[in-house]
Structure 1
Amino acid sequence: MKLIHTADWHLGQSFHGQERHAEHRAFLDWLLTTLEARRPDALLIAGDVFDVVNPSLRAQELLYDFIVGAHAALPGLDIVMIAGNHDSGARIELPAPLMRRLNTHALGRVHWLDDGALDSDRLLVPLRDQHGTIAAWCLALPFLRPAEVTGGGIDDYRDGIARVHRELTATAEARRQPGQALVAMSHAHLQGASVSEASERPIVIGGEEAVPATLFPASVAYVALGHLHRPQQVGETRIRYSGSPLPLDFSESHYRHQVLEITLEGEALDGIESLPIPRHVALTRVGPGDLETVEAELAALDADTKLPRERWPWLEVRVDLEAPRPDLRARIEAALADKPLRLLRIHSRYPHAGGQDEVSVDLDDLTPQEIFARTWQARYGDAPPEDVMADFASLVQQVQDAEGSEEHDMENKA
């Protein structure tokens, strides 16, 4: 049996105020072509399908056009999609009845039965081979929010996560027949995994979101992870982040992006192959350096003048200054002249100002937690205590969840 593992599409992402519709369309076109060529039995999309809980109509259109196209090309293909921390679980599940007609399973939230047990059946998806026979079971675990996994005698978030894994795994092991593999899909931050520099929203509360790999017992042949954008193995070969298909920040532009092709033989993992994704639009960074050095580097940049505008590289310029320069943008734009580049951002640094590395920071560079911590430090002269940061992170998550719930309620009323 063959699976394709991908995650963290972030459809609808605004890149410093610029939309990336063409790049996402190019990736999905490539993925559809790859599915037709490789002919897998299932496609796993491990969360953060959208970039925000209320995605634009264009972002939703990208997703649903792709699903329709994939089903038309490969009618037997099973698609399993889970919500990530950027997604609204309600929105991901909203079209689920219609998508099931396209062999697509959309899981956004966990549910509990009247007796307090996990509704494991809805999170357990059969995966069929080319003969229509169930060859594997997918344990589909969307991002687990504290409100969904605590209560009923369990107050600790990590205990709630462990309980969900334990009950779902037990159900899967009881359900499967000899020769059928177990494949887990989860949107989570595993302990020991490498986090990208600037673009990944912390999940919930400081270190509490990092879960141990031991939650996935040896009976699970493969673990398809989402959330961290850098492709990586976590401990064992069978536990993988596929990474995001696009670099979502300039800090993610230096490595190749991929999807993973997974081969199962009976109940066991047989092989993993990385399929590199072509980069539709380049990301270019110039600097840091003084203004004259940066101007010279910009003038020397060689760009393909034959590219259509939607494929012009994104450009970030980092300049070291002694004092503010009102003419900075004009100088940089003059250095670029008519080069086919899209200037996204000018990042000014003042390395000699008051002994600080940077005194000018864009809010776009900071998470809500970092803004809160900086404000607390400025007001009280010390870093905020861990319990205060935990409370603030919980409030941020509640706001994000409420935004998704309000949108879901509005759709139901409509």
Structure 2
Amino acid sequence: MAVHFFHTSDWHLGQFFYNHSRQYEHEQFLKWLLEQIKQKQPNALLIAGDIFDVINPASLAQKQLYQFLADAHACAPHMQTLMIAGNHDSGYRIEQVEPLLEKYNAKTVGVIHKNAAGQLDLDRLMLPIYNENKNIVAWCLTLPFLRPAEITGFNEHTSNSQNAIAYLHQQLIREAKERKTADQALILMSHAHMQGGETSDSERPIIIGNEEALSTTLFDEVIDYVALGHLHKPQKVQHAHIRYSGSPIPLSFSEINYKHQVVEVKIQPRQQGDTRLRLNVLEVPRSIHLHKISGELDEVMQKLRALATGEISAIEQREYVDVEYYSLVPPPLDLRQQIEQALPPNRYRLVRIYRKPIHQDHDLDAQSKMNLEPPTPEQLFETLWEKMGYQVDDEVQRDFLQLLHDAQQMLEHATPDQ
């Protein structure tokens, strides 16, 4: 029996881009995705984590998701929507709404649970995918972002994070092999950083301490397709059937040239001499363009004036502009005003101005950044550490990332009264 599904991930609903809401862009993506679902009627939609941008998403971001699920169910009642939590999501939060999700034929796996015997609850991680006739055509093995506290300490095989990850994959795949029939496909959905994956500058680091990116050797040959989330660039990892779908919109200026997409997957019954896996890229239209303008200051001004004209009345639909200019001298006091005057009126949003000296200097003061985005915790730490006269080496950075990771976990698991 064939199975037909869509693979997407890293929606980051509720994201603010240099303090500008991405709501309009997400609305356009979801509208486009609904049209694809209506036309193609897949058996399932897989969302491989980072559904939201923060662990406590705003009500508007949550409304976007649940309205989409309702609309998707209306135009494809037989389609299942299967979701996992990413490192930006609160696994407990997205699991709390299971009764609501059931109304829309949707399921979510946020965390790794123990069963009554105190062992890994593998049943919750194995979700059947049905066709229109209610026959099981595939099993989806769901692995949300694996936090050490959730997967270690079950037995002697889970004494540390790496051992626990390997053990979890082995046990889950072994159980799937026993459960599946010959005509059912196996799909594994995971939110992880795989070895060989190409990153952008908008992904939050999830490799900490001495932990390494995961190896594709975790995936047994019996797995027909691996649907990955976390990295924003669409890409295969070593094998054609192991893929990141990537984010549907650019989440940083480093992603300007990405071909954002949803992967349409069809797995045919096994036939000798035939290709079992069929992939089709559905390219996501870009609703708002990003422009990165760089060069010496005079050159930058010329490029700004050469940008397309024509007013865009709605501010939330205007295009983003990032300016990086090279200079040996400090910026003029009215630089922002000069840049805004050079831009064609009422079409663009200037989100960042950054002066990069022609001769690089590691002194942050000498770089004279004018960045309209609040600094990240990593940037603040590096700045303070260097001002105290110390060097941020790999060991110090790993220790800081470990502390930051622990703090994020505490926030996720804190109750409202805490």
State if a TM-score over 0.5 links the two structures.
yes
Letter in 2 for 1:379: M
Correspondent of 1:303 among 305, 309, 321? 309
**Cα distance in 2 for residues equivalent to 1:100 and 1:70:** 13
Q: Which residue number corresponds to residue 296 of structure 2?
A: 289
Corresponding pairs, count: 406
**Cα distance in 2 for residues equivalent to 1:211 and 1:370:** 26
Matched, 1:398 2:402: no
Q: Which residue number corresponds to residue 171 of structure 1?
A: 175
Q: Deviations over 1:292-323 (max 9, x none)?
A: 22122211211343664432211111122311
Q: Secondary structure at the match of 1:345?
A: strand
Matched, 1:328 2:335: yes
Letter in 2 for 1:16: Y
Q: Which residue number corresponds to residue 110 of structure 2?
A: 108
Letter in 1 for 2:19: G
TM-score by length of 1: 0.92
Matched, 1:372 2:378: no
Q: Which runs of 5+ in 1 are unaligned?
A: none
Correspondent of 1:360 among 363, 368, 376? 368
Q: Which residue number corresponds to residue 349 of structure 1?
A: 356
Q: Deviations over 1:35-74 (max 9, x none)?
A: 0111110000000000000111111010000000001111
**Cα distance in 1 for residues equivalent to 2:77 and 2:225:** 24
Q: Secondary structure at the match of 2:189?
A: strand
Shift of 1:402: 2.3
Correspondent of 2:397 among 382, 389, 392? 389
Letter in 2 for 1:300: A
**Cα distance in 1 for residues equivalent to 2:387 and 2:121:** 47
Q: Which runs of 5+ in 2 are unaligned?
A: none
Letter in 2 for 1:117: Q
Matched, 1:247 2:250: yes
Letter in 2 for 1:297: K
Matched, 1:160 2:169: no
- Conserved 8 A contact 2:312-2:346: no
Question: Structure 2 vs 1, CA of residues 163 and 54 (structure 1 numbering), >3 Å: closer, same or farther?
Answer: same
Q: Which residue number corresponds to residue 320 of structure 2?
A: 314
Q: Which residue number corresponds to residue 238 of structure 1?
A: 241
- Conserved 8 A contact 1:46-1:186: yes
Q: Which residue number corresponds to residue 263 of structure 1?
A: 266
Question: Structure 2 vs 1, CA of residues 385 and 254 (structure 1 numbering), >3 Å: closer, same or farther?
Answer: closer
**Cα distance in 2 for residues equivalent to 1:385 and 1:61:** 41
Shift of 1:350: 2.6
**Cα distance in 2 for residues equivalent to 1:104 and 1:4:** 14
Question: Structure 2 vs 1, CA of residues 360 and 368 (structure 1 numbering), >3 Å: closer, same or farther?
Answer: same
Q: Deviations over 1:238-295 (max 9, x none)?
A: 10000000000111011211000000113684211100000000111111322x2212
Q: Secondary structure at the match of 1:40?
A: coil
Question: Structure 2 vs 1, CA of residues 384 and 51 (structure 1 numbering), >3 Å: closer, same or farther?
Answer: same
Correspondent of 1:143 among 142, 145, 150? 145
Query: Which one is further off, 297-306 or 45-54?
Result: 297-306
Shift of 1:373: 4.2
**Cα distance in 1 for residues equivalent to 2:63 and 2:25:** 14
Calculate the aligned-residue CA RMSD, in Å. 2.2
- Conserved 8 A contact 2:85-2:91: yes
**Cα distance in 2 for residues equivalent to 1:188 and 1:355:** 32
Letter in 1 for 2:164: G
Question: Structure 2 vs 1, CA of residues 371 and 156 (structure 1 numbering), >3 Å: closer, same or farther?
Answer: farther
Shift of 1:176: 1.1
* Runs of 4+ residues deviating >6 angstroms: 355-358
**Cα distance in 2 for residues equivalent to 1:110 and 1:150:** 10
- Conserved 8 A contact 1:118-1:168: no
Alignment of 1:35-114 (within 5 A): 35-114=37-116
Q: Which residue number corresponds to residue 221 of structure 1?
A: 224
**Cα distance in 1 for residues equivalent to 2:192 and 2:374:** 22
Q: Secondary structure at the match of 2:211?
A: helix
Q: Which residue number corresponds to residue 201 of structure 1?
A: 204
Letter in 2 for 1:118: L
- Conserved 8 A contact 1:43-1:80: yes
**Cα distance in 2 for residues equivalent to 1:241 and 1:142:** 14
Shift of 1:363: 8.9
